Structure 1
Amino acid sequence: MVVLKKGKRHVVVAQRAAPVRAAFTPSKPSLGEAMGLRDTDDALALRSSVALVMDQNSNEVLFQKNAGAVLPIASITKLMTALVVMDSRLPMDEVLTITEEDRDTEKHSSSRLRFGTQLTRQELLLLALMSSENRAASALGRHYPGGLPAFVQAMNRKARELGMNDSHFVDSSGLSSSNVSSATDLVRMVNAAYRNPTIREYSTQTEHEVNVLGRTQHYVSTNRLVRGGNWEIGLQKTGFISEAGQCLVMQARVHGRNVVMVFLDSAGKLSRFADANRVKDWLEHSPSSPQRGFPSSPNLTQGPGSAHAVLASQQSRGI
Structure 2
Amino acid sequence: MRRTIVLWIVIGSLLAGWGVTPAAVKAEPPALSTYAEAASLIDVTSGRILYSKQGDKPMKIASLTKVMTAIVAIENGNLSDMVKIGQSAFGKEGSSLYLKLGEEMSLHHLLYGLMLRSGNDAAVAIAEHIGGSIEGFAFLMNQKAQELGMDNTHFMNPHGLDMEGHYSSANDMAKLTAYALKNSVFQEIVKTKTKRVPRPEEKWDAVWNNKNRMLNIYPGADGVKTGYTKQAKRTLISSATRDGQQLAAVTLNDPNDWLDHSNMLDYGFRHYPLQPLVKQGDKAGDGLVLGASFNYPMTDEEAARIAMEPELLQEGTASYRLGERGILKLLMDGQMIGTVPIYAEGSPQLATSVRSAFRFTEDGPASGNGGFIYRLKQVWSALFTLSH
TM-score with structure 2 length normalisation?
0.58
Which residue of the other structure, out of 224, 228, 240, is the alignment partner of 2:213? 224
Give the letter for the 2:121 counterpart.
R
1:196 is displaced (CA, Å) by 0.9
What is the distance in 2 between the residues matched to 1:254 and 1:200?
15
Instruction: Give the corresponding residue for 1:242.
Output: 230
Give the letter for the 2:214 counterpart.
L
Instruction: Give the corresponding residue for 1:138.
Output: 124
What is the distance in 2 between the residues matched to 1:277 and 1:114?
38
Q: Are the equivalent residues in 2 in contact too, given 1:194–1:234 (CA < 8 A)?
A: no
Q: Are the equivalent residues in 2 in contact too, given 1:255–1:284 (CA < 8 A)?
A: no
Bigger drift between 216-225 and 92-101 goes to 92-101
1:204 is displaced (CA, Å) by 1.1
The 3-state SS of whatever aligns with 2:88 is helix
Instruction: Give the corresponding residue for 1:174.
Output: 160
Q: Is it true that 1:52 corresponds to 2:37 in the alignment?
A: no
Bigger drift between 69-78 and 231-240 goes to 231-240
Which residue of the other structure, out of 146, 156, 162, is the alignment partner of 1:160? 146
Q: Are the equivalent residues in 2 in contact too, given 1:170–1:176 (CA < 8 A)?
A: no
Q: Which has the higher contact order (CA 8 A, sep 6+)?
A: 1
1:233 is displaced (CA, Å) by 3.1
Give the letter for the 1:205 counterpart.
T
Query: Which structure 1 residue ranges, 5 or more long, are not aligned?
Result: 1-41, 297-319
1:260 is displaced (CA, Å) by 2.3
What is the distance in 2 between the residues matched to 1:286 and 1:207?
33
1:227 to 1:127, Cα distance in 2 relative to 1, 3 A? farther
Instruction: Give the corresponding residue for 1:261.
Output: 249
Instruction: Give the corresponding residue for 1:14.
Output: none
Bigger drift between 58-67 and 219-228 goes to 58-67
1:127 to 1:207, Cα distance in 2 relative to 1, 3 A? same
Alignment of 1:281-300 (within 5 A): 281-283=266-268, 288=299
Instruction: Give the corresponding residue for 1:202.
Output: 189
Instruction: Give the corresponding residue for 2:85.
Output: 98
Instruction: Give the corresponding residue for 2:170.
Output: 183
1:295 to 1:199, Cα distance in 2 relative to 1, 3 A? farther
1:143 is displaced (CA, Å) by 1.0
The 3-state SS of whatever aligns with 1:189 is helix
1:223 is displaced (CA, Å) by 0.4
1:48 to 1:162, Cα distance in 2 relative to 1, 3 A? same
Q: Is it true that 1:278 corresponds to 2:263 in the alignment?
A: yes
1:109 to 1:50, Cα distance in 2 relative to 1, 3 A? same
1:168 is displaced (CA, Å) by 0.5
What is the distance in 2 between the residues matched to 1:44 and 1:78?
28
The 3-state SS of whatever aligns with 1:249 is strand
1:91 to 1:45, Cα distance in 2 relative to 1, 3 A? closer
1:172 to 1:118, Cα distance in 2 relative to 1, 3 A? same
CA shift digits 1:166-223 (9 cap, x unpaired): 1111111111344311111112211221121001111111011223431322111110
1:254 is displaced (CA, Å) by 4.3
Q: Are the equivalent residues in 1 in contact too, given 2:96–2:118 (CA < 8 A)?
A: no
CA shift digits 1:225-248 (9 cap, x unpaired): 1134x4323441111111111111
Instruction: Give the corresponding residue for 1:66.
Output: 54
Give identity over the alignment, percent: 26
Q: Are the equivalent residues in 2 in contact too, given 1:74–1:177 (CA < 8 A)?
A: no
The 3-state SS of whatever aligns with 1:85 is helix
Q: Are the equivalent residues in 2 in contact too, given 1:254–1:283 (CA < 8 A)?
A: no
What is the distance in 1 between the residues matched to 2:266 and 2:126?
38
The 3-state SS of whatever aligns with 1:251 is strand
The 3-state SS of whatever aligns with 1:135 is helix
Q: Are the equivalent residues in 1 in contact too, given 2:91–2:98 (CA < 8 A)?
A: no
Instruction: Give the corresponding residue for 1:116.
Output: 102
CA shift digits 1:104-126 (9 cap, x unpaired): 66x55554323333211110011
Instruction: Give the corresponding residue for 1:33.
Output: none
Bigger drift between 251-260 and 91-100 goes to 251-260
What is the distance in 1 between the residues matched to 2:252 and 2:99?
28
How many residues are treated as equivalent by the alignment?
A: 248
Q: Are the equivalent residues in 2 in contact too, given 1:254–1:280 (CA < 8 A)?
A: no
The 3-state SS of whatever aligns with 1:174 is coil
The 3-state SS of whatever aligns with 2:37 is strand
1:282 to 1:233, Cα distance in 2 relative to 1, 3 A? same
Q: Are the equivalent residues in 1 in contact too, given 2:62–2:227 (CA < 8 A)?
A: yes
Q: Are the equivalent residues in 1 in contact too, given 2:240–2:265 (CA < 8 A)?
A: no
Give the letter for the 2:108 counterpart.
Q
Give the letter for the 2:83 counterpart.
L
What is the distance in 2 between the residues matched to 1:133 and 1:48?
25
The 3-state SS of whatever aligns with 1:144 is helix
